[in-house]
Structure 1
Amino acid sequence: MNSRKVVFLFWSTLLVGSISGGIVGSFLNSSRLLEGGFANFFWGATWAIGISAAFSLIAQMGFFAYLTLHRFGLGIFKSVRLWNRIQVVIIAFVVFDLFYLRYMAFAEEGESIWSYMIIPVLLLVYGLVIAAIKAKATNRQAFIPALFFIVVVTSIEWVPALTANDPKWLWIYFAPLLAANTWQLLILHRLTGTGNEAAKT
């Protein structure tokens, strides 16, 4: 992948993360943004876009860190199948921790654990869908790495908001991370020319 494509990946990911986070942030703060006139709305929306841009930069660092980790894992275990099995175990561990540890840390007396399972389950389902799209566009071996990236790497990047346990900040932080990670995952094979169509030519 040449420098032009790297620059495209950087700026397009920044744009996707900024816009998605800006929309979600503006929506969640709509009552506050709309009560002070246009100037208040403008600066509030600008703040939401700016903070989302910062989160999308975190997503980009996580993406390249995972690409390095993936190559490192393949080099250590010398087997795609074994490395994929290890990733599946880590995925299960992270999904469990996403609801159990948060329940243990933040649940009030009498509060059900089921409410803490909604986000992890939805993230897993979303990851399965995106991983299936990635595998269809490239090859079957890409399914587990794609699922790992969406679920595990996104969760790690999301930790600062998870520890705060503020519902609004959970989504303001989560939206640009998930959008940026999805974009990077689904655009990479097009930039590198490693998709199914490229393999046929």
Structure 2
Amino acid sequence: MTIRNWFKFAFRALIIGGVVTGLMSLIVRWGDFYAQHFSNGEWGEAFLGLLWFVLLGFTMSMVCQMGYFAYLTVHQIGVNICRSLTLWNWVQILLMFVALLDVILFRFKPYAHSASDWLLYIGLLIVLIAAAIVTAMKKVKMTGKKHILISALFFMIFVSIIEWLIALWVRTSGGNEYITLLLFPILAVNAFQLLELPKYNAKSAEDLKKREERRAARRELEEKNNKNAKHK
């Protein structure tokens, strides 16, 4: 990928993370944060709070971008170690189940003190799995390659959970709010990366081809000028 296209790709991912986190903060934190500032006419405090959430989204976007490129490396290593895409797919399925069980048993269960807590946690897992399935199916449809379904699901579930641990470890006041808030930018940025990176790679290949054609044309022109100069 060329530097220009990588910058465009990273910038779009950054904006998606910031916008999604900012919008979700208006929903998740309205009752305990925004409402009191708006009712008191504290517009500056409300705006600064929104800005802080947008910056938090930028941070999560950068975490997701590092996670994606790390996943691309791990995926290639996994295929080489397993010596078979089928075996690597089974390993990915096992890791997905382990990650989901870890979230349920060690991240949610110790802190689920009421039915409302369980409803929230189950709802978030449904959102995670549903987003992963929709994104993976769209990836298969875009590429026409059915064998990448498991890899896409693995990235959207396993890698997203790893990135989500930043929020899952927060168990101070407002822990559930941040667990809810940060899941959505993670899913949005990861879905964007999974679906859009091939387009940027294709554009980079096209740009490199045009660059080589321009260089060849310049070399041809220089050679022609040199020949004319010698004849003179």
Q: 2:226 matched to which residue of 1?
A: none
1:129 is matched with: 134
| Match runs of 1:80-119 below 5 Å | 80-108=85-113, 115=119, 116-119=121-124
**Partner Cα distance (2:149, 2:198) in 1:** 13
Within the candidate set 70, 75, 91, 1:70 is matched to 75
Equivalent-residue separation in structure 1 for 2:54 and 2:118 (angstroms): 32
In structure 1, the residue matched to 2:35 is 31
Larger radius of gyration: 2
Task: String of CA shifts for 1:80-133, please: whole Å, max 9, x gaps.
Answer: 11111110111111122221223442233x769953433223311221111000
| Equivalent in 161, 169, 191 of residue 155 of structure 1 | 161
The letter for the 2-side match of 1:141 is H
Which runs of no fewer than 5 residues in structure 2 stay unpaired? 204-232
Tell me how far apart the structure 1 counterparts of residues 15 and 54 of structure 2 sit (CA, whole Å).
9
> Partners in 1 of 2:182 and 2:28 — Cα distance?
12
In structure 2, C-alpha distance between the alignment counterparts of 1:118 and 1:38, rounded to whole Å = 32
What 5-or-longer segments of structure 1 have no aligned partner? 195-201
Tell me the alpha carbon deviations over residues 154-193 of structure 1, each in whole angstroms, 9 at most, x when there is no partner.
1001112112241111122222211111111110122223
SS of 1:164's equivalent in the other structure is: coil
Matched to 2:190, the amino acid is N
Query: Which piece of structure 1 moves more, 162-171 or 9-18?
Result: 162-171
CA RMSD for the aligned pairs? 2.1
**In structure 2, what is the Cα distance between the partners aligned to 1:175 and 1:103?**
18
Residues 68, 193 of structure 2: 8 Å contact kept: yes
For the Cα contact (< 8 Å) 2:139–2:149, is it kept in 1?
Answer: yes
The alignment of Structure 1 onto Structure 2 pairs a total of residues equal to 193
Alignment counterpart, residue 60 of structure 1, candidates 61, 65, 88: 65
8 Å Cα contact 2:18/2:55 also seen in 1: yes
Q: How has the CA–CA distance of structure 1 residues 103 and 24 changed in structure 2, closer, same or farther, with 3 Å as cutoff?
A: closer
Please say if residues 99 and 120 of structure 1, whose CA atoms lie closer than 8 Å, have aligned partners that are also in contact. no
Question: TM-score scaled by structure 1?
Answer: 0.87
C-alpha distance in 2, partners of 1:45/1:16? 15
Deviations 1:34-53 (A, max 9, x none): 23433222212111111111
Residue 21 of structure 2 aligns with an amino acid whose one-letter code is G
Among 189, 200, 205, the residue aligned to 1:191: 200
- Normalised by the size of structure 2, how large is the TM-score? 0.76
